Amino acid sequence: MNYFVTAIGTDSGKTLVSAILTEALQADYWKPIQAGRENRDVETVMKLINNGHSFCYEESYLLTAPIAPHAAAKAEGVRIDLNKIHIPLNGGNHIIIEGAGGVLVPLNEKEFVIDIAAKFDAEIVLVYNNYLGCINHTLLTVQELKRRNLKVKGIIFNGKPNKESEEIILISSGYKCLLRILPENNINQEIVTQYAIKLFENWDE
């Protein structure tokens, strides 16, 4: 099974969630498009997981500027082509695929980040983080996922809990809460392992 980690926006916690899923499922990890050569997400995930089964793959597109992928590619004279993004052959292990930004971040003039999930028939894990306007952004994302008829595994709430926001999102979306990640002073392998174990309280294969 392929799982695609997307979010309601940038810096919502996709990489942390990807590390937790990778550790929990002892899956492989792949971020097809990385915009920003410094602080690559694949390097972060490699530092946070602690098992002997997972493999982290190189990006299909590694771009220099930490901006929207289509703009970063254009700055380098490159056009991101979804047809040239091929999923790694890994012997049948789960693959955690991390998106870039939110679902409608453009790859080029026609395609968006969420098209990667559709191409590889990946089940969506949606990451929410709490801020003013997050309900609107979350439900707009949910509407787009439903409009595209994509499979959604559930939602992960990241950050300071907000019961009212979380309840209305779950009711309105119909999605399952997979995990709640609390603010942590230090993100390390121990924290990721703790959440990886907790994930199975609500994760059904």
Active site residues: 31
Q: Please state the φ and ψ torsions of residue 9, each to the nearest 5 degrees.
A: 180, -170
Cα dihedral across residues 153, 201, 49, 38: positive or negative: positive
d(CA 154, CA 128): 11
The two beta strands, 2-7 and 61-63, are unpaired
Alpha carbons within 13 A on the beta-carbon side of 65 = 12
What amino acid occupies position 196? A
* Dihedral-angle region of residue 155 (phi above 0 means left; psi in -120 to 50 means alpha; beta otherwise): beta
At 74, which helix (H) or strand (E)? helix 69-75
Cα distance between residue 99 and residue 179, in whole Å: 19
